[in-house]
Chain A
Amino acid sequence: MLRFIGRRLLIAIPTLFLVITVAFFMMRAAPGSPFDGDRKLSPEIEANVMAKYGMDRPLHEQYGAYLAGVVQGDLGPSLKYKDKTVLQILQENYRVSLTLGLSSIILATVIGVSLGVLAALRQNQTTDYVVMTIAILGVCIPTFVTAPVLVLVIASKLGWLPSAGWNGGALPNLILPIVVLTLPQVAIISRLTRAGMVEVLRSNYIRTARAKGLPENRIVRRHALRAAILPLVSYLGPAAAGLITGSLVVEKIFNLPGLGKFFVISALQRDYTVVMGMVIFYAALILILNLIADLLHAVLDPRVRLS
């Protein structure tokens, strides 16, 4: 088991390194600089500013310096937000994104797995068709359609919930963003669960369990679900990526002070260090989730450990 973890870690670290490298050089290849403001800086001042951030040095030296900083946990200062380091910006804004992401994934898992199991047990019956229709709708209606439509109907016309804003994380402000983020995940998770469940229910050991006379309830929960849930575990990484993508839209529409909003703005403003910090943060997050998924897989499925 330790060797398994070690090997996975050995793969994750060079991956992160490559991600940093690609993002660094892409960002620097972009025309413009973080100091192209509304006021034109005089050449002397611009040279001074560049020197202050070490941007007068050759690119490969800057890259080396940046990497050295990252290794020590220093993501550098923001080039746009004065007196703030990238770490501070991340710390101040991660909470919104985390709250949304975590609530959505938990909700989506609970609802999605229940629906998926239900559909699999009632295969080719009305329940199954209803669940699968919901799943298809969830995949085909993108977040940038559900979000404005829900805002229009529930917030503007009916006035049940606030249409935007964070308001210190008050529950009414959270409901719509979480619903928008959760729906597509429910769709995917229920599909995955149903597919896994249908396959498992046909397998020999389930037939054995039935033959032993175990109650159906126990068969489903103890025997079938454990195996059927495996594809879900590998979905953990992509789910995080999907939530991050969704949060870009949701944070924009609901005007929430999360990380996603920062990313697009910072990229457009050429705030190199902030963009890099976010790429590293999200890439690390996805790598860690993939690592956890691999480990869970190994725990749940003995066949993985052997290979």
Chain B
Amino acid sequence: MTGTILTPGSRVGAETMEKAARGRSLWDDARRRLLRNKAAVGGMIVLGLLVLAAIIGPYFTPYAYDQINKDHVWAPPLTQGHLLGADSLGRDLLARLLTGLRVSLAIGLVATTVSLIIGVAWGAVAGYLGGRIDEIMMRVVDVLYSLPFIFFVILLMVTFGSNIILIFVAIGAVEWLTMSRIVRGQTLSLKHKEFVEAARAAGLGDGGIIAKHIIPNLLGPVVVYVTLTIPAVILAESFLSFLGLGVQPPMASLGTLIANGAQDMELAWWLLVFPSLTMVVTLMSFNFIGDGLRDAIDPKDR
């Protein structure tokens, strides 16, 4: 958009104007609003740093996350080369924290993707087909909702033993419920829009309409909900780990670190404080981004 002069009436002008209008009306506008939101921008910067630290950080720590060192047991922060101290086995907290952050973020991402795929497909099909099928599919969602989520996951973990893949699947399989409801609601309102009718008139089948017209138009609310699901998933995993059902040692996640820190807090406050802070900062940045995105995309509160 480098200063094109729009001359009303000329064909080029009309075209550019149409393009500009379309661009501004959705994503450009949303991006501008998002970037004006200080909390959201702050959240993005902090999250970017956290992700970077989680990806490359573990390669730069002087100790490995599972390296046991008998002489360094309970080393306080800033002693014996442990920036954040060491735990009951003399393992470096910084290395464990970075690894734990990596595991938690990975679980958040993968489980959210699982929930995204199931939720969008389920909600779009239910909302689009409507009638009896919609009723049955949404009844299933209601049933799963009324089983206290955490019991469901605990049962899954107990049934199949805890391994990391299962944590992904278990949490993802539960978190799709809200997503499917949101998507269904949106689909219901979308399917009566003119462009869907036009597509049908042009001979496109149900599958094609869902894939090409419904799902792309769901993007806004779905993106917002994804940024709010990731912290929910991280929280759920940490919760499981806290109860001893999540990631198994010597592997670490933020939840296991906080759980261990809580056990040893009388002796070594740093084991509780640093993982907790990391957790809170991570969750906060996701929530700020999510709220910012919602304000930017959802025109309701403007």
> Which residues in A have some Cβ–Cβ distance to B below 8 Å?
11, 15-16, 18-19, 22-23, 26-27, 29-31, 136-137, 139-142, 144-145, 147-149, 151-152, 156, 237, 241, 244-245, 248-249, 252-253, 263-264, 267-268, 275, 278-279, 282-283, 286-287, 290
Contact = CB atoms under 8 A, between A and B. Distances in A.
Q: List 4 tightest A-B contacts by C-beta distance, closest first.
A: A148-B262, A140-B283, A30-B159, A145-B276
Contacts, number: 115
A136 B243 CA distance: 25
Contacts of A147: 262
A101 to B, nearest CB: 12
Interface string B261-296: 110011001001100100110011001100000000
Contacts of B137: none
Given A141-B280, A152-B266, A253-B262, 13 more contacts: A15-B139, A15-B143, A26-B159, A27-B155, A27-B159, A139-B287, A144-B262, A145-B258, A156-B266, A248-B239, A248-B243, A268-B158, A290-B146
A144 B143 contact: no
Interface string B69-103: 00000000000000000000000000000000000
Contacts of B258: 144-145, 148
30 contacts: A11-B139, A15-B142, A16-B146, A26-B155, A26-B156, A26-B159, A30-B155, A136-B288, A140-B283, A142-B238, A142-B279, A144-B242, A144-B262, A145-B258, A145-B279, A148-B258, A151-B265, A156-B265, A156-B266, A237-B146, A249-B239, A249-B242, A252-B243, A263-B151, A267-B158, A268-B158, A275-B155, A279-B148, A282-B148, A290-B146
Give the dominant DSSP class at B's interface: helix
B272 A136 contact: no
Contacts of A26: 155-156, 159
Contacts of A22: 147
A156 B262 CA distance: 12
Contacts of A252: 242-243
B151 A278 contact: yes
B195 interface: no
Interface of B: 139, 142-143, 145-151, 154-156, 158-161, 231, 235, 238-239, 242-243, 245, 255, 258-259, 261-262, 265-266, 269, 272-273, 276, 279-280, 283-284, 287-288
